[in-house]
Structures are given as C-alpha cells and as structure tokens.
Amino acid sequence: MMKKQLLAISIGVALGTSPLAGIAATGDASAEKIMQELEALKQRVETLQGELEKERARNDQIEQKQAEQAEKVAKAEEKAEASKPDINVGGAVRFNYTVADNDSAGKDRGGDLAFDTFRLNFDGEINDVILSAEWRWYEYMSVIHHAWVGYEFTDDLMARAGIFQVPFGVLPYNSHNFYFSSLYYVGLEDNYDFGVGTTYTPGDWRFDLALFKNDERKWGDGYASGALESYSANVMGYGETSADPYAEGYDASMTNTLAARAEYTYEVSDGFTLKPGVSVKYGQLDSSMPGAYYGSEKGDGDYYAAAAHLVADYDRWNVQLQYTDWEYDLDNADAESLRYGYYNAAYTGPLSANALTANVAYTMPVEWGPVSSLSFYNDYSLIFDKNNDFEDTYMNVTGMAVSAGGVYAYFDIINGKNQPFVAGGGNALTDDTGANTIFNINVGYYF
C-alpha cells in the first residue's frame, strides 16, 4: 500500500515538473484537459499524503502503547522479584563434654558427653522488612531465642519490634567463653525481652533506646507451666528466705522496662580502638502477670540497673571491662532474694548488688588443615556488696576457642563460688556453697 502511495506521489511530482506544464499556456483544449487531470491527480496525492500521516500517527500510538505495556511488565516483574522472600536458613547442633571436681562418679567414668542444643535460624528481608528469628531445642525444653522484624529508615537509623536483645552493657557478649559471665545469671548479659527499640549510629556514636513490655517466657500455660522455660534469666518472683528457689515465694515479673545505651568508638591509632559506653534500664515489677509460678500476688515494685563499660581492641587483643550496679525495690519489706527462671530450673539471686567483669582475649590466625583461628581468653566476673550480707559470687574462666570451617569449639576451665551451673554451686547466688572447678568442652557445628 505504501509503495503505491509513493509511486503516485512520484508521478505527480514528475508530471508537475514536465514540459506539459508549458502546454497549458497555449490554450489548447487537450492541454486544458491534461491540466485538469493533473490537478485531480495532485489532490489525490495530497489525500494519500494525509492518509499516510494518519497511518504514521497510528503506528506511533501503537508503538507507544507497546512500550508502555513493556514497561508495566518490567515493573511488575521487578516488584514480583522484590517481593520474593530472601531468607537464609541456618542453624547449629552442639554437644558438651564435662568433668567436675566434686563429681567422683563422673570422674570415674572419665566425664560425661551429652547433647546440648539444636537450633534453627531464619534471617533475611521481605520487601525491605528485616526478619531475624531463632528457635532452640534442648533435651529438657524448647524455647524461642529471638524473633523480631525491623526496618532501616536510613543508613544510620533502624527500628525493630519483637523479642530481641536488651541493649545493656558490653555487646553482643560481656564474655568470650561458653558459660558467659556471672551477669548472665542475673539477667544482665545476653538477655532477650519482648518490645520495640531503635538503634541510631551517627558517625562514631551508637545510641540504643528500647521499651520492653515483658520478658519472652511462655505465658498463660497454667500454674508453673512454662515459667521456667526460657533462654534468658527472667525474674519470676522473690522469697522471704534466701536459700531454696523452689520454696514458698511470691510472684514478681518485670514489665514496662525502658533501656538506654550509648557508646562511642574512638580510633586511637591504626589497629587500636576504644569503645567507652554507659547503659541504664528502669522498669516495674508486677505480680499479676499470666503464667505465674508461685501463685501469690505480693510482688509489686520497681527496679533499675546501670553500667559503665569499655571495650578495647589492639591488634589481635580484645579487652572488656564493666562495672554494674542494680537494685530491686519490692513493696514487701521482708523480701530477701529474687527468684529467677531459666533453662527449665529456678535460681536465687540478690535484690541488690554491684559487679565487676574483666575479660581479655587474644586471637591467632592459623592454617592447620581446617583450623583457621585460635582464641585464648580469661574471663573474670565478681558480684559483691549484695543485700542481706550474702556471700560474694565469682567466676573465672580460662579457655580456648577453636574455629575450623563450620565447627566452633570451646575448651574451658571454670572455677566459681556461689555460681549456678558450676558443679557444686547449686542454684543460688545468695548462699555460701563454696568453690568448685569444672572442665568443659562444647563443640558445635554451624550451618
């Protein structure tokens, strides 16, 4: 069609410029007729030119619509790709080997090997929303470790909600060994609660602010059910006597806790960094929370904890220092000790105390087959100036951590007094149970 139109245009142009144009001036009738035919032909050409322009316009519209449709399809595919969950699934399985100095039967057996933990981790993003969760299985319980969603408003500002680590003290751990420090056993190291929080990192500063509604225990499962099953050490009540955490007591759980932390990173020189910081948290104690353990509502009050801390990194060395002070103020003036629940057992702790932690570690890279690094450490913690003149608690852990591919292993010698989980230390930080030593190996495979 278009070729015919172009041919007609060419004929018209040729005729308009041929010698026939001069014939019109002679007045000859045939010439006049030819001129009329030429005029008609020109009009036809003009009509064809108009139709050609319309056809071109229609083609342009079709091409534009096709381009717009292709763009919509590309955006839809991009949105669909972005909405696909980008979640990494990982986990670990760990085992313990233990020999305790006061367990004669265990020593005769050459120590005991036992299953420790199996866990699953889920970490990633869905439509720019960050997700992190971990569930753990032990021989005696299965518990949530953490589960939160977050969003990065800017490179410096992030918010999260769910069960996450309380921003307090040296982070992420105030220790290098498998058993943590003594502060873990009073809920002041690697503790996880249910709330909302923000982390702001302008320049060399880091600021954390969080509000925790309550702890992460299993609530509402009936009397005593779930109250002791948690990864973190949670206050579950108090007693008017200091010794047996399973004796008669009164319910008291932490609620409406505000935690704030500030830390500054100071680059002293190449390879030498100091991180001084302060932490504080304040909250209420409530005796009417669901899932109560003791079934007696006489545990209202409030509490606070504060800490000054410093982390120093020099070459391969790491040093952690922290001073901590805390107090639980219960309405019952006869209260003597707190009752904690964690790892499916009950423990006692002081209502008020001070603590010092001093840890040092040296990491050495190696190339011994699959072994890539060795970390040597000594972690010391002391809880003193307790209420009711309770005896001090101390724990010293000397050990080595070995990294080999997906395997991470701790070799620890733990000496402690009045320290839970140390053989012979019982379940109390409030009675003089003497000092004991254990040797522990924990081997974990991470995937």
Q: What domains appear along the chain, each with residue ranges and CATH number?
A: 2-78 (no CATH), 88-446 (2.40.160.10)
Phi, psi torsion values for 227, nearest 5 degrees: -65, -25
Q: What is the mean pLDDT of residues 41-45?
A: 81
**Residue 112 near residue 139 (C-beta atoms within 8 A):** no
Q: What's the pLDDT score for residue 182? A: 97
Q: Around Cβ 389, how many Cβ atoms within 10 Å?
A: 6
Write out the two tokens for 350: 């002081």
Confidence of residue 48 (pLDDT cuts 50, 70, 90): confident
Question: Residue 4: is its pLDDT beyond 60?
Answer: no
This prediction's pTM: 0.81
**Residue 187 near residue 233 (C-beta atoms within 8 A):** yes
Q: What's the pLDDT score for residue 243? A: 72
Q: What is the mean pLDDT of residues 181-207?
A: 97
Write out the two tokens for 264: 């500054």
Rg of the chain over CA atoms, in angstroms?
38
Mean pLDDT over each residue of the chain, to the nearest integer: 88
Q: Which residue has the tokens 């120590």?
A: 111
Q: What's the pLDDT score for residue 24? A: 45
Write out the two tokens for 427: 């379940």
Write out the two tokens for 73: 């399809």
Calculate the alpha carbon distances from 200 to 125, 162, 197, 204, 277 in Å: 20, 18, 10, 11, 14
For 124-127, which contacts have Cβ atoms below 8 Å and span 24 or more sequence positions? Answer: 124/85, 124/86, 124/87, 124/88, 125/86, 125/87, 126/83, 126/85, 126/86, 126/87, 127/82, 127/83
Q: What is the mean pLDDT of residues 235-245?
A: 86
**Residue 264 near residue 275 (C-beta atoms within 8 A):** yes
Highest mean pLDDT: which of 219-233, 293-307, 387-401? 387-401
Distance CA 17, CA 356 (A): 108
Report residue 38 CA to chain centroid gap. 85
Return the higher-pLDDT residue of 60 and 276: 276
Lowest mean pLDDT among 203-207, 220-224, 299-303, 395-399: 220-224
Q: What is the mean pLDDT of residues 335-359?
A: 95
Distance CA 375, CA 380 (A): 16
Q: What's the pLDDT score for residue 244? A: 82
Report residue 264 CA to chain centroid gap. 21
Distance CA 295, CA 48 (A): 97
Calculate the alpha carbon distances from 16 to 41, 52, 130 in Å: 10, 21, 76
How do residues 100-133 score in pLDDT, each as one tens digit? 988 888 888 989 999 999 999 999 999 899 999 9
